[in-house]
Amino acid sequence: MYKTIIEALQQKFPGVDAKVLEPVARKLAKSATKEEDVPTLVEGVTFQQVTESYSDFRVTQAVATASARAVSDYEERFGLKDGKRKEEPKPDDKKKEDKAEALAERLEALEKRFSEQDAATKQKGFQTSIASILKEKGVRESFYMPIISGRTFEDEDAAKAFAETVEQSYKDDEQALANAAHSGSRKPDKAQGDTEEDPLLKAVQEKTDRIAAEKNNKQ
């Protein structure tokens, strides 16, 4: 069943390494009872879910390895085996305690770094998802890339809502240009050196804030 699922995922996401697809494939394999279920299960998988599953897998694996190494080093320094002393403590206990604290700090820093990497991977996935949606809707890349670049999103719903506001702004902008062309006028160029906020970006931000506020009110 797992092999069938991984093959189906590779067809849906061509070019994505099998190792990246493995975590979500194993998760789907637990839900599938027969091969006829595979197309439906795979159809519901988004690229964002793939990146999140792989990120969670990498973080869990890295933290588990680091934790096991930390426990092993701690027991070796303090003469422990399975949490019990193998020998009487030596006079330099204070020095060993300091080393143990330093080791704990290193482990905490490692967990923080992987957490930050995980967050960065998720945000990259959100931006990829938004770009894919807008591209399918026919929005020009030169239009949406400056808008989504550098932005962060709370979850996939927020990313989709933002994509909708950008799409609508694009349609409004295109309609305004069409109307201007029809009337014989043209959209004024922005003056060189003008630092005033781009009205399009401002409009997108206002729509995004409004959607977020409505979402919070419903919760």
What pLDDT score was predicted for residue 119? 83
- Read off the tokens for 96: 């060993």
What's the one-letter identity of residue 61?
Q
What pLDDT score was predicted for residue 93? 64
Q: What is the pLDDT along the chain (219 residues), one digit of tens a residue?
A: 778 888 888 887 888 788 878 888 888 888 777 888 788 888 888 878 778 777 777 767 766 676 677 767 767 766 666 656 655 555 566 677 777 788 888 888 888 888 888 888 888 888 888 888 888 889 888 888 888 888 888 888 888 888 898 888 888 888 888 888 777 655 545 444 444 455 556 666 666 666 666 666 665
Rounded Cα–Cα distance for residues 67 and 111 (Å): 10
What pLDDT score was predicted for residue 85? 62
Helices (H) and strands (E) in the chain, counts: 8, 2
- Quick one: DSSP state of residue 39? H
Q: Give the closest residue to 128 by CA, choosing from 16, 8, 10.
A: 16
What pLDDT score was predicted for residue 33? 75
What pLDDT score was predicted for residue 190? 46
Q: Give the closest residue to 160 by CA, choosing from 185, 127, 190.
A: 127
* Residue with the two structure tokens 């630092």: 195
What pLDDT score was predicted for residue 191? 40
* Residue with the two structure tokens 């994509």: 163
What pLDDT score was predicted for residue 30? 84
Helices marked H in the chain: 2-12, 18-31, 38-43, 47-78, 93-136, 141-148, 156-183, 199-218
What pLDDT score was predicted for residue 120? 85
Rounded Cα–Cα distance for residues 3 and 14 (Å): 16
pTM, rounded to two decimals: 0.39
What pLDDT score was predicted for residue 192? 41
